[in-house]
A = this chain, B = another copy of it.
Amino acid sequence: MDKLYVIKIGGNIIDDETKLSLFLKEFANIDGNKILVHGGGKLATKLADQLGIASKYINGRRITDEATIDVVIMVYGGLINKKIVAKLQALQCNAIGLTGADANIIPATKRPVNDIDYGFVGDVAVEELGFANLSLFLMSNLTPIIAPLTHDNKGQMLNTNADTIASSIAIALSILYDVQLIYSFEKSGVLMDVNDENSVIRSITPSSYQDLKSGKKIFEGMLPKLDNAFAALDNGVKKVIIGKAEQLNDMINGNAGTTIVNE
């Protein structure tokens, strides 16, 4: 099977023009199939503030009301997505910017209201997630750049977690490709000591993960990311790498970041 890299970048790269440009250069140079999923960054909050739209949070989680969904469509689906696409085109990478609504690549449902109404937030409809159009783009040498937005198939756009989009796509495409899922964030990898960037754990397997957890050696905030990584591996993804976007090449070559494998 051909290799496919599904790479997620977050706000720490998106908000920094210099870092973003350097990252995109390395990204454009990756040989073969690749998909970029980007998060939002601070721009949406900044724009909402300028427009006098109050950001609402419940238990630390943002609520996406009607005014806010318009802002995130503009910032994630418009400004950030198209700036990345234009920069990649200049680097001879034939990028195509997409949300989950475009070509219906990511069907979703509005999160049901239980205790909390998160508003226009989407949960990926994993069972409906096909790979037809994404693989069509890849086979035509196009590089999908995906914004963290989906739609409910009833005409409504929905704000959606970029990590979930990345893992859902990686899993769906693992039927056709040998998929490596790369999560970039602000740290160099999973750290033994959260304050020491040199304490990167180079490799984690299911058994070493159990040891690390029972020994409480991993920063608690990392556990959901790692649980997601193992779920992706259990569903067909070959390898998950967690690290700094600035070290993309080294991560791919196995010289940086934390590699998570099911063996």
Which residues of chain B are within 8 angstroms of A77 by Cβ–Cβ distance? 77-79, 81-82
Which residues of chain B are within 8 angstroms of A19 by Cβ–Cβ distance? none
> Quick one: CB contact mask for A65-100 with B, threshold 8 Å, 1 for yes?
000001001111111011101110110001111110
State in angstroms the CA–CA spacing of A145 and B142 once bound together.
18
Q: A75-B74, A78-B75, A78-B79 are in contact. Are A151 and B86 (CB under 8 A)?
A: yes
Q: Please tell me if A199 contacts chain B, counting CB pairs below 8 Å.
A: no
- A76 to chain B: closest CB distance in Å? 8
Interface members, chain A 149-187 (any B CB < 8 Å) = 149, 151, 153-157
State in angstroms the CA–CA spacing of A247 and B96 once bound together.
33
Select A90's contact among B50, B70, B149, B154, beta carbons within 8 Å: B154
The secondary-structure label for the interface of chain A is helix
Q: A96-B98, A140-B136 are in contact. Are A157 and B103 (CB under 8 A)?
A: no
State in angstroms the CA–CA spacing of A101 and B102 once bound together.
15
Q: Please tell me if A104 contacts chain B, counting CB pairs below 8 Å.
A: yes
A76, A94, A101, A104: which has the most chain B beta carbons within 10 Å?
A: A101
Select A101's contact among B86, B151, B153, beta carbons within 8 Å: B86
- A150 to chain B: closest CB distance in Å? 9
Q: Please tell me if A198 contacts chain B, counting CB pairs below 8 Å.
A: no
- A48 to chain B: closest CB distance in Å? 11
State in angstroms the CA–CA spacing of A153 and B90 once bound together.
5
A47, A85, A142, A154: which has the most chain B beta carbons within 10 Å?
A: A85
- A128 to chain B: closest CB distance in Å? 12
B102 touches A96 (CB 8 A): yes
A-B pairs with the 9 shortest C-beta distances?
A78-B78, A74-B74, A90-B155, A74-B78, A77-B78, A96-B103, A86-B151, A96-B102, A87-B155
